[in-house]
Structure 1
Amino acid sequence: MNEGAKAAVEVVDLGKTYGSGPTAVRALKGISLGFAGGEFAAIMGPSGSGKSTLLHILGALEEPSSGRVVIGGTELSGLSDKKLTLLRRARMGFVFQAYNLIPTLTSEENVMLPVLISGEGTAKYEERLDELFSLVGLGKRRSHRPDELSGGEQQRVAIARALVRGPDLILADEPTGNLDSKTGAGVLDLLRESAARYGQTVVMVTHDARAAAVADRVVFLADGKVVDEAREPDADEIFERIRTLESAG
Protein backbone atom coordinates (compact mmCIF):
# COMPACT_ATOMS: atom_id res chain seq x y z
CA MET A 1 0.00 0.00 0.00
CA ASN A 2 1.31 3.44 -0.84
CA GLU A 3 2.45 5.47 2.11
CA GLY A 4 -0.38 7.71 3.25
CA ALA A 5 -3.04 5.76 1.36
CA LYS A 6 -6.12 4.85 3.35
CA ALA A 7 -6.49 1.12 3.95
CA ALA A 8 -9.68 -0.34 2.50
CA VAL A 9 -8.77 -3.64 4.14
CA GLU A 10 -6.81 -3.74 7.38
CA VAL A 11 -5.38 -6.66 9.31
CA VAL A 12 -4.08 -5.93 12.82
CA ASP A 13 -1.95 -8.38 14.84
CA LEU A 14 -3.77 -11.33 13.29
CA GLY A 15 -3.21 -14.76 14.79
CA LYS A 16 -4.68 -18.17 14.03
CA THR A 17 -4.07 -21.37 15.97
CA TYR A 18 -5.50 -24.76 15.11
CA GLY A 19 -5.94 -27.22 17.96
CA SER A 20 -4.63 -26.83 21.49
CA GLY A 21 -1.93 -28.09 23.79
CA PRO A 22 1.31 -29.62 22.49
CA THR A 23 -0.23 -30.47 19.10
CA ALA A 24 -1.47 -26.92 18.42
CA VAL A 25 -0.43 -25.39 15.10
CA ARG A 26 0.07 -21.62 14.89
CA ALA A 27 -0.78 -20.86 11.28
CA LEU A 28 -0.60 -17.06 11.64
CA LYS A 29 1.53 -15.19 14.15
CA GLY A 30 0.69 -11.53 14.62
CA ILE A 31 0.26 -10.39 11.02
CA SER A 32 -0.48 -6.70 10.38
CA LEU A 33 -1.19 -5.50 6.85
CA GLY A 34 -3.15 -2.85 5.00
CA PHE A 35 -4.50 -2.95 1.44
CA ALA A 36 -5.70 0.17 -0.36
CA GLY A 37 -8.68 0.53 -2.63
CA GLY A 38 -7.61 -0.09 -6.23
CA GLU A 39 -4.59 -2.13 -5.13
CA PHE A 40 -3.78 -5.54 -6.60
CA ALA A 41 -1.71 -7.46 -4.02
CA ALA A 42 -0.25 -10.96 -4.24
CA ILE A 43 0.44 -13.18 -1.23
CA MET A 44 3.28 -15.67 -1.62
CA GLY A 45 5.25 -18.05 0.55
CA PRO A 46 6.31 -21.65 0.99
CA SER A 47 3.76 -24.39 1.62
CA GLY A 48 2.42 -24.05 5.15
CA SER A 49 3.34 -20.37 5.44
CA GLY A 50 -0.26 -19.30 6.17
CA LYS A 51 -1.30 -17.92 2.77
CA SER A 52 -4.63 -19.72 2.45
CA THR A 53 -5.44 -19.21 6.14
CA LEU A 54 -4.96 -15.47 5.72
CA LEU A 55 -7.17 -15.41 2.63
CA HIS A 56 -9.91 -17.39 4.37
CA ILE A 57 -9.90 -15.03 7.34
CA LEU A 58 -10.03 -11.99 5.05
CA GLY A 59 -13.05 -13.58 3.40
CA ALA A 60 -14.77 -14.23 6.75
CA LEU A 61 -14.67 -17.95 5.99
CA GLU A 62 -12.64 -18.61 9.15
CA GLU A 63 -12.39 -16.75 12.45
CA PRO A 64 -9.00 -15.56 13.72
CA SER A 65 -7.79 -16.66 17.13
CA SER A 66 -6.62 -13.12 17.85
CA GLY A 67 -6.34 -9.73 16.20
CA ARG A 68 -8.69 -7.76 13.99
CA VAL A 69 -9.85 -7.61 10.37
CA VAL A 70 -11.49 -4.37 9.19
CA ILE A 71 -13.08 -4.14 5.74
CA GLY A 72 -14.46 -0.83 4.55
CA GLY A 73 -14.53 0.43 8.14
CA THR A 74 -16.40 -2.62 9.46
CA GLU A 75 -14.61 -4.82 11.97
CA LEU A 76 -15.47 -8.48 11.43
CA SER A 77 -15.01 -9.72 14.99
CA GLY A 78 -18.23 -9.86 16.92
CA LEU A 79 -20.47 -9.96 13.85
CA SER A 80 -23.10 -12.68 13.86
CA ASP A 81 -23.02 -15.44 11.24
CA LYS A 82 -25.94 -13.76 9.48
CA LYS A 83 -24.17 -10.39 9.34
CA LEU A 84 -20.95 -12.04 8.11
CA THR A 85 -22.91 -13.76 5.35
CA LEU A 86 -24.49 -10.47 4.31
CA LEU A 87 -21.10 -8.76 4.39
CA ARG A 88 -19.57 -11.43 2.17
CA ARG A 89 -22.41 -11.07 -0.33
CA ALA A 90 -22.30 -7.27 -0.40
CA ARG A 91 -18.59 -6.48 -0.11
CA MET A 92 -16.63 -9.50 -1.30
CA GLY A 93 -16.11 -11.46 -4.47
CA PHE A 94 -14.30 -14.80 -4.64
CA VAL A 95 -12.30 -16.34 -7.50
CA PHE A 96 -10.95 -19.85 -6.93
CA GLN A 97 -8.71 -22.22 -8.87
CA ALA A 98 -11.79 -24.40 -9.39
CA TYR A 99 -14.26 -22.31 -11.34
CA ASN A 100 -17.27 -23.51 -9.30
CA LEU A 101 -19.77 -22.79 -12.06
CA ILE A 102 -23.14 -24.55 -12.03
CA PRO A 103 -23.08 -26.80 -15.12
CA THR A 104 -26.79 -26.51 -15.93
CA LEU A 105 -26.73 -22.70 -16.03
CA THR A 106 -25.60 -20.42 -18.83
CA SER A 107 -22.68 -18.01 -18.42
CA GLU A 108 -25.10 -15.16 -17.78
CA GLU A 109 -27.08 -17.15 -15.22
CA ASN A 110 -23.88 -18.13 -13.41
CA VAL A 111 -22.75 -14.51 -13.28
CA MET A 112 -26.12 -13.44 -11.88
CA LEU A 113 -26.11 -15.99 -9.03
CA PRO A 114 -24.87 -13.53 -6.36
CA VAL A 115 -27.68 -11.15 -7.32
CA LEU A 116 -30.33 -13.87 -7.17
CA ILE A 117 -29.03 -15.19 -3.83
CA SER A 118 -29.12 -11.67 -2.37
CA GLY A 119 -32.80 -11.38 -3.29
CA GLU A 120 -32.25 -8.31 -5.45
CA GLY A 121 -34.10 -7.77 -8.69
CA THR A 122 -32.08 -8.45 -11.83
CA ALA A 123 -33.42 -5.59 -13.98
CA LYS A 124 -31.02 -2.98 -12.59
CA TYR A 125 -28.06 -5.20 -13.44
CA GLU A 126 -28.69 -5.40 -17.19
CA GLU A 127 -26.24 -2.59 -17.98
CA ARG A 128 -23.76 -4.01 -15.49
CA LEU A 129 -23.94 -7.41 -17.23
CA ASP A 130 -23.22 -5.82 -20.61
CA GLU A 131 -20.22 -4.04 -19.12
CA LEU A 132 -18.87 -7.17 -17.43
CA PHE A 133 -19.25 -9.46 -20.44
CA SER A 134 -17.48 -6.82 -22.52
CA LEU A 135 -14.72 -6.60 -19.89
CA VAL A 136 -14.13 -10.37 -19.86
CA GLY A 137 -14.46 -10.66 -23.64
CA LEU A 138 -17.38 -13.10 -23.62
CA GLY A 139 -20.14 -11.03 -25.12
CA LYS A 140 -20.95 -13.79 -27.63
CA ARG A 141 -20.79 -16.59 -25.04
CA ARG A 142 -23.44 -15.40 -22.60
CA SER A 143 -25.86 -18.21 -23.46
CA HIS A 144 -23.21 -20.95 -23.34
CA ARG A 145 -23.03 -23.46 -20.49
CA PRO A 146 -19.71 -24.32 -18.78
CA ASP A 147 -19.15 -27.50 -20.82
CA GLU A 148 -19.27 -25.35 -23.96
CA LEU A 149 -16.50 -23.06 -22.69
CA SER A 150 -12.74 -23.46 -22.42
CA GLY A 151 -11.06 -23.40 -19.00
CA GLY A 152 -9.99 -19.81 -19.52
CA GLU A 153 -13.50 -18.78 -20.53
CA GLN A 154 -14.94 -20.48 -17.46
CA GLN A 155 -12.50 -18.61 -15.23
CA ARG A 156 -13.48 -15.33 -16.88
CA VAL A 157 -17.14 -16.13 -16.16
CA ALA A 158 -16.13 -16.75 -12.53
CA ILE A 159 -14.40 -13.35 -12.42
CA ALA A 160 -17.49 -11.63 -13.85
CA ARG A 161 -19.56 -13.38 -11.17
CA ALA A 162 -17.19 -12.07 -8.50
CA LEU A 163 -17.54 -8.54 -9.84
CA VAL A 164 -21.25 -8.35 -10.58
CA ARG A 165 -22.37 -6.69 -7.33
CA GLY A 166 -19.42 -4.30 -7.22
CA PRO A 167 -17.70 -5.68 -4.09
CA ASP A 168 -15.00 -3.73 -2.26
CA LEU A 169 -12.73 -6.77 -1.99
CA ILE A 170 -11.88 -9.51 -4.51
CA LEU A 171 -10.15 -12.58 -3.05
CA ALA A 172 -8.46 -14.87 -5.55
CA ASP A 173 -7.00 -18.25 -4.57
CA GLU A 174 -4.62 -19.60 -7.25
CA PRO A 175 -6.90 -18.25 -10.02
CA THR A 176 -4.53 -19.28 -12.81
CA GLY A 177 -3.56 -22.68 -11.41
CA ASN A 178 -5.56 -24.66 -13.99
CA LEU A 179 -4.74 -22.45 -16.96
CA ASP A 180 -1.99 -22.33 -19.57
CA SER A 181 0.37 -19.36 -19.41
CA LYS A 182 -1.33 -17.30 -22.14
CA THR A 183 -4.83 -17.80 -20.75
CA GLY A 184 -3.60 -17.22 -17.21
CA ALA A 185 -2.02 -13.93 -18.27
CA GLY A 186 -5.39 -12.81 -19.62
CA VAL A 187 -7.10 -13.64 -16.33
CA LEU A 188 -4.47 -11.69 -14.38
CA ASP A 189 -4.94 -8.70 -16.67
CA LEU A 190 -8.66 -8.84 -15.90
CA LEU A 191 -8.03 -8.79 -12.16
CA ARG A 192 -5.63 -5.90 -12.50
CA GLU A 193 -8.05 -3.98 -14.71
CA SER A 194 -10.95 -4.53 -12.29
CA ALA A 195 -8.85 -3.07 -9.46
CA ALA A 196 -7.91 -0.05 -11.56
CA ARG A 197 -11.33 0.51 -13.14
CA TYR A 198 -13.56 -0.03 -10.13
CA GLY A 199 -11.21 0.90 -7.29
CA GLN A 200 -11.55 -2.57 -5.78
CA THR A 201 -8.94 -4.23 -3.59
CA VAL A 202 -7.71 -7.50 -5.11
CA VAL A 203 -5.79 -9.93 -2.89
CA MET A 204 -4.47 -13.01 -4.66
CA VAL A 205 -2.72 -16.06 -3.23
CA THR A 206 -0.40 -17.68 -5.74
CA HIS A 207 2.69 -19.87 -5.93
CA ASP A 208 3.52 -18.61 -9.43
CA ALA A 209 6.19 -15.88 -9.58
CA ARG A 210 5.03 -14.80 -13.05
CA ALA A 211 1.48 -14.35 -11.79
CA ALA A 212 2.63 -12.40 -8.73
CA ALA A 213 4.70 -10.08 -10.93
CA VAL A 214 1.47 -8.66 -12.38
CA ALA A 215 0.43 -7.36 -8.95
CA ASP A 216 1.22 -3.89 -7.58
CA ARG A 217 2.70 -5.40 -4.43
CA VAL A 218 3.85 -8.82 -3.30
CA VAL A 219 3.70 -9.82 0.38
CA PHE A 220 5.87 -12.76 1.39
CA LEU A 221 4.87 -15.03 4.27
CA ALA A 222 6.94 -17.65 6.06
CA ASP A 223 6.06 -19.62 9.17
CA GLY A 224 2.90 -17.58 9.71
CA LYS A 225 4.60 -14.17 9.58
CA VAL A 226 5.12 -11.38 7.05
CA VAL A 227 8.83 -11.55 6.30
CA ASP A 228 9.17 -9.32 3.25
CA GLU A 229 7.32 -7.10 0.80
CA ALA A 230 8.15 -5.83 -2.66
CA ARG A 231 6.46 -3.28 -4.90
CA GLU A 232 6.21 -4.26 -8.57
CA PRO A 233 9.09 -6.78 -8.52
CA ASP A 234 9.81 -8.79 -11.64
CA ALA A 235 9.31 -12.55 -11.77
CA ASP A 236 13.02 -13.32 -11.37
CA GLU A 237 13.24 -11.28 -8.18
CA ILE A 238 10.13 -12.96 -6.79
CA PHE A 239 11.45 -16.41 -7.64
CA GLU A 240 14.73 -15.70 -5.86
CA ARG A 241 12.96 -14.44 -2.74
CA ILE A 242 10.74 -17.52 -2.61
CA ARG A 243 13.70 -19.82 -3.14
CA THR A 244 15.52 -18.10 -0.27
CA LEU A 245 12.50 -18.53 2.01
CA GLU A 246 12.14 -22.19 1.10
CA SER A 247 15.85 -22.79 1.74
CA ALA A 248 15.64 -21.05 5.11
CA GLY A 249 12.66 -23.21 6.09
Structure 2
Amino acid sequence: MHTLVDQAQPFLKLDEIDVHYGAVQALFRINLHVEQGEVVSVLGGNASGKSTTIKTVLGLVKPTHGSVTMDGERIDGLSSPDVIERGVASVPEGRRVFPEMSVQENLLMGAYPRRKDKQGIARDLEEVFQTFPRLGERRRQAAGTLSGGEQQMLALGRAWLRRGRLICIDEPSMGLSPRYVDLVYDVLFRWKAAGQTILLVEQNARIALELADRAYVLQHGHIIIQGAAADLAADPAVQKAYLGAA
Protein backbone atom coordinates (compact mmCIF):
# COMPACT_ATOMS: atom_id res chain seq x y z
CA MET A 1 0.00 0.00 0.00
CA HIS A 2 1.43 3.40 -1.03
CA THR A 3 1.07 6.55 1.02
CA LEU A 4 1.33 10.16 -0.09
CA VAL A 5 3.67 11.34 2.64
CA ASP A 6 6.33 12.52 0.17
CA GLN A 7 4.02 15.29 -1.04
CA ALA A 8 4.33 16.93 2.38
CA GLN A 9 8.12 16.58 2.44
CA PRO A 10 10.25 19.68 1.82
CA PHE A 11 12.41 19.63 -1.30
CA LEU A 12 15.62 19.35 0.75
CA LYS A 13 15.69 18.08 4.31
CA LEU A 14 18.50 17.51 6.78
CA ASP A 15 17.17 15.41 9.62
CA GLU A 16 19.09 15.03 12.92
CA ILE A 17 22.49 15.36 11.21
CA ASP A 18 25.69 14.76 13.16
CA VAL A 19 29.07 15.12 11.44
CA HIS A 20 32.47 14.20 12.87
CA TYR A 21 35.97 14.93 11.61
CA GLY A 22 37.73 12.05 13.34
CA ALA A 23 37.10 12.48 17.06
CA VAL A 24 35.92 16.08 16.67
CA GLN A 25 32.19 16.64 16.25
CA ALA A 26 31.38 19.47 13.82
CA LEU A 27 27.55 19.29 13.63
CA PHE A 28 25.10 18.35 16.36
CA ARG A 29 21.60 17.11 15.44
CA ILE A 30 21.07 19.62 12.62
CA ASN A 31 17.49 19.91 11.35
CA LEU A 32 17.15 22.12 8.30
CA HIS A 33 14.89 22.24 5.26
CA VAL A 34 14.52 24.10 1.97
CA GLU A 35 11.27 24.31 0.05
CA GLN A 36 11.23 24.35 -3.74
CA GLY A 37 11.80 27.87 -5.06
CA GLU A 38 13.04 29.07 -1.67
CA VAL A 39 16.31 30.76 -0.74
CA VAL A 40 17.61 29.59 2.64
CA SER A 41 20.74 31.05 4.20
CA VAL A 42 22.99 29.44 6.81
CA LEU A 43 24.83 32.05 8.86
CA GLY A 44 27.56 31.90 11.48
CA GLY A 45 31.12 32.82 12.28
CA ASN A 46 34.28 30.85 11.61
CA ALA A 47 34.15 27.20 12.72
CA SER A 48 30.38 27.44 13.26
CA GLY A 49 29.70 24.44 10.99
CA LYS A 50 28.01 26.27 8.16
CA SER A 51 30.40 25.09 5.42
CA THR A 52 30.24 21.54 6.82
CA THR A 53 26.45 21.75 6.45
CA ILE A 54 26.64 22.53 2.75
CA LYS A 55 29.39 19.93 2.20
CA THR A 56 27.10 17.34 3.79
CA VAL A 57 24.38 18.16 1.26
CA LEU A 58 26.89 17.87 -1.58
CA GLY A 59 28.16 14.47 -0.43
CA LEU A 60 31.64 15.83 0.32
CA VAL A 61 31.18 14.97 4.00
CA LYS A 62 29.33 11.91 5.28
CA PRO A 63 27.09 12.30 8.34
CA THR A 64 27.65 10.00 11.27
CA HIS A 65 23.98 10.22 12.20
CA GLY A 66 20.79 11.36 10.48
CA SER A 67 19.67 11.64 6.87
CA VAL A 68 19.65 14.04 3.93
CA THR A 69 16.74 13.76 1.51
CA MET A 70 16.10 15.64 -1.72
CA ASP A 71 12.74 15.38 -3.43
CA GLY A 72 11.86 12.55 -1.02
CA GLU A 73 14.96 10.43 -1.81
CA ARG A 74 17.93 9.80 0.48
CA ILE A 75 21.14 11.33 -0.90
CA ASP A 76 23.42 11.16 2.15
CA GLY A 77 24.87 7.82 1.02
CA LEU A 78 25.75 9.08 -2.47
CA SER A 79 29.10 10.27 -3.76
CA SER A 80 29.42 13.95 -4.67
CA PRO A 81 29.25 13.22 -8.46
CA ASP A 82 26.07 11.22 -7.89
CA VAL A 83 24.54 14.09 -5.90
CA ILE A 84 25.36 16.44 -8.76
CA GLU A 85 23.78 14.00 -11.23
CA ARG A 86 20.58 14.23 -9.17
CA GLY A 87 20.33 17.91 -10.06
CA VAL A 88 22.50 19.80 -7.57
CA ALA A 89 24.84 22.59 -8.67
CA SER A 90 27.60 24.02 -6.51
CA VAL A 91 29.39 27.34 -6.20
CA PRO A 92 32.18 26.27 -3.83
CA GLU A 93 34.09 28.42 -1.38
CA GLY A 94 37.21 29.76 -3.07
CA ARG A 95 35.64 29.42 -6.54
CA ARG A 96 37.62 26.27 -7.52
CA VAL A 97 37.94 27.08 -11.20
CA PHE A 98 40.17 25.01 -13.49
CA PRO A 99 43.03 27.51 -13.91
CA GLU A 100 44.62 26.09 -17.07
CA MET A 101 41.31 25.78 -18.93
CA SER A 102 39.68 28.67 -20.73
CA VAL A 103 36.72 30.57 -19.35
CA GLN A 104 34.41 28.90 -21.86
CA GLU A 105 35.79 25.43 -21.10
CA ASN A 106 35.18 26.03 -17.38
CA LEU A 107 31.61 27.03 -18.09
CA LEU A 108 31.01 23.98 -20.25
CA MET A 109 32.25 21.77 -17.41
CA GLY A 110 29.19 22.95 -15.50
CA ALA A 111 26.95 21.84 -18.35
CA TYR A 112 28.53 18.36 -18.61
CA PRO A 113 25.65 16.48 -16.91
CA ARG A 114 23.29 17.84 -19.59
CA ARG A 115 25.80 17.53 -22.43
CA LYS A 116 23.25 16.06 -24.87
CA ASP A 117 21.22 19.29 -24.76
CA LYS A 118 23.52 21.13 -27.17
CA GLN A 119 21.00 23.81 -28.15
CA GLY A 120 20.08 24.53 -24.54
CA ILE A 121 23.74 24.75 -23.55
CA ALA A 122 24.53 27.15 -26.38
CA ARG A 123 21.58 29.34 -25.35
CA ASP A 124 22.56 29.31 -21.67
CA LEU A 125 26.22 30.01 -22.50
CA GLU A 126 25.23 33.18 -24.32
CA GLU A 127 22.98 34.12 -21.40
CA VAL A 128 25.97 33.83 -19.06
CA PHE A 129 28.06 36.01 -21.35
CA GLN A 130 25.27 38.61 -21.45
CA THR A 131 24.99 38.52 -17.65
CA PHE A 132 28.78 38.75 -17.23
CA PRO A 133 30.13 40.68 -20.26
CA ARG A 134 33.65 40.49 -18.81
CA LEU A 135 33.54 36.69 -19.15
CA GLY A 136 32.38 37.03 -22.74
CA GLU A 137 35.37 39.26 -23.49
CA ARG A 138 37.68 36.70 -21.88
CA ARG A 139 36.02 33.49 -23.04
CA ARG A 140 39.27 32.11 -24.53
CA GLN A 141 41.48 33.33 -21.68
CA ALA A 142 42.83 30.89 -19.06
CA ALA A 143 40.62 31.03 -15.99
CA GLY A 144 43.64 31.22 -13.68
CA THR A 145 44.50 34.66 -15.07
CA LEU A 146 41.17 36.18 -13.99
CA SER A 147 40.82 38.35 -10.89
CA GLY A 148 39.12 36.91 -7.80
CA GLY A 149 35.90 38.73 -8.62
CA GLU A 150 35.96 37.50 -12.21
CA GLN A 151 36.56 33.94 -11.01
CA GLN A 152 33.50 34.23 -8.77
CA MET A 153 31.49 35.33 -11.81
CA LEU A 154 32.83 32.25 -13.57
CA ALA A 155 31.85 29.96 -10.69
CA LEU A 156 28.32 31.39 -10.73
CA GLY A 157 28.05 31.01 -14.49
CA ARG A 158 29.28 27.42 -14.29
CA ALA A 159 26.60 26.61 -11.68
CA TRP A 160 23.91 28.26 -13.81
CA LEU A 161 24.88 26.14 -16.81
CA ARG A 162 24.25 23.06 -14.68
CA ARG A 163 20.56 24.11 -14.57
CA GLY A 164 20.36 22.38 -11.20
CA ARG A 165 17.17 21.94 -9.24
CA LEU A 166 19.18 23.13 -6.23
CA ILE A 167 22.18 25.46 -6.17
CA CYS A 168 24.44 25.28 -3.11
CA ILE A 169 26.56 28.41 -2.66
CA ASP A 170 29.39 28.58 -0.13
CA GLU A 171 30.66 32.03 0.95
CA PRO A 172 30.11 33.88 -2.36
CA SER A 173 31.24 37.27 -1.01
CA MET A 174 34.45 36.06 0.65
CA GLY A 175 37.50 38.05 -0.42
CA LEU A 176 35.60 40.21 -2.89
CA SER A 177 35.56 43.99 -3.19
CA PRO A 178 32.21 45.70 -2.42
CA ARG A 179 31.69 46.19 -6.16
CA TYR A 180 31.95 42.47 -6.88
CA VAL A 181 29.80 41.58 -3.85
CA ASP A 182 27.09 43.79 -5.35
CA LEU A 183 27.51 42.07 -8.74
CA VAL A 184 27.27 38.61 -7.18
CA TYR A 185 24.14 39.41 -5.23
CA ASP A 186 22.54 41.15 -8.20
CA VAL A 187 22.78 37.79 -9.97
CA LEU A 188 21.50 35.87 -6.93
CA PHE A 189 18.47 38.17 -6.67
CA ARG A 190 17.77 37.49 -10.35
CA TRP A 191 18.01 33.73 -9.76
CA LYS A 192 15.60 34.06 -6.84
CA ALA A 193 13.14 35.99 -9.01
CA ALA A 194 13.37 33.18 -11.59
CA GLY A 195 12.30 30.65 -8.91
CA GLN A 196 15.69 29.00 -8.39
CA THR A 197 16.03 26.96 -5.16
CA ILE A 198 19.16 28.07 -3.30
CA LEU A 199 20.99 26.99 -0.14
CA LEU A 200 23.41 29.78 0.74
CA VAL A 201 26.22 29.74 3.31
CA GLU A 202 27.45 33.23 4.04
CA GLN A 203 29.36 35.29 6.62
CA ASN A 204 27.96 38.56 5.26
CA ALA A 205 24.74 38.26 7.25
CA ARG A 206 23.25 41.60 6.24
CA ILE A 207 23.13 40.95 2.51
CA ALA A 208 22.33 37.23 2.95
CA LEU A 209 19.26 38.09 5.04
CA GLU A 210 18.12 40.56 2.37
CA LEU A 211 18.22 37.76 -0.21
CA ALA A 212 16.93 34.82 1.84
CA ASP A 213 13.38 33.78 2.63
CA ARG A 214 14.48 31.96 5.77
CA ALA A 215 17.72 31.57 7.67
CA TYR A 216 19.48 29.44 10.26
CA VAL A 217 22.25 30.69 12.55
CA LEU A 218 24.89 28.14 13.57
CA GLN A 219 27.27 28.36 16.51
CA HIS A 220 29.77 25.60 17.35
CA GLY A 221 27.81 23.12 15.22
CA HIS A 222 24.42 23.85 16.79
CA ILE A 223 21.47 25.75 15.30
CA ILE A 224 20.87 28.54 17.82
CA ILE A 225 18.36 30.70 15.90
CA GLN A 226 16.12 30.01 12.92
CA GLY A 227 13.19 31.69 11.24
CA ALA A 228 12.07 34.10 8.53
CA ALA A 229 15.01 36.14 7.25
CA ALA A 230 13.18 39.43 7.91
CA ASP A 231 12.58 38.39 11.53
CA LEU A 232 16.22 37.46 12.02
CA ALA A 233 17.35 40.77 10.51
CA ALA A 234 15.20 42.57 13.10
CA ASP A 235 16.32 40.35 16.03
CA PRO A 236 18.52 42.35 18.46
CA ALA A 237 20.66 39.28 19.22
CA VAL A 238 21.35 38.72 15.51
CA GLN A 239 21.94 42.44 14.96
CA LYS A 240 24.49 42.56 17.76
CA ALA A 241 26.33 39.37 16.78
CA TYR A 242 26.22 39.51 12.98
CA LEU A 243 24.98 42.89 11.71
CA GLY A 244 27.34 45.19 13.55
CA ALA A 245 24.69 46.82 15.76
CA ALA A 246 25.82 48.40 18.98
Contact 1:39–1:196 under 8 Å retained in 2: no
**Percent identity among equivalent residues?**
29
SS at match of 1:220: strand
- Give the 5 Å matches for 1:113-128: 113-116=109-112, 118=113, 120-121=115-116, 123-124=118-119, 125-128=121-124
The separation in 2 between residues aligned to 1:96 and 1:178, in whole angstroms, is 13
> Do the aligned partners of residues 134 and 90 (structure 1) sit closer, same or farther apart at CA in structure 2, a change above 3 Å counting?
farther
Contact 1:212–1:235 under 8 Å retained in 2: no
Residues 40-71 of structure 1: per-residue CA shift (max 9 Å, x gap): 22211233322111111011111111111011
- Of 137, 140, 143, the match for 2:140: 143
Superposition TM-score, scaled by structure 1 size: 0.80
Residues 85-118 of structure 1: per-residue CA shift (max 9 Å, x gap): 23324412111332222233222111001334x4
Superposition TM-score, scaled by structure 2 size: 0.81
Q: CA offset at residue 122 of structure 1?
A: 6.5
Residue matched to 1:102:
98
> Do the aligned partners of residues 202 and 139 (structure 1) sit closer, same or farther apart at CA in structure 2, a change above 3 Å counting?
same
* Alignment size in residue pairs: 233
Q: CA offset at residue 77 of structure 1?
A: 3.7
Name stretches of at least 5 consecutive residues in structure 1 with no aligned partner: none
The separation in 1 between residues aligned to 2:189 and 2:198, in whole angstroms, is 8
The separation in 2 between residues aligned to 1:169 and 1:239, in whole angstroms, is 31
- Give the 5 Å matches for 1:27-46: 27-46=26-45
> Do the aligned partners of residues 102 and 49 (structure 1) sit closer, same or farther apart at CA in structure 2, a change above 3 Å counting?
closer
The separation in 1 between residues aligned to 2:236 and 2:124, in whole angstroms, is 38
- Kindly provide the amino acid, as one letter, of the partner of residue 15 in structure 2: V
Tell whether 2:11 aligns with 1:11.
no
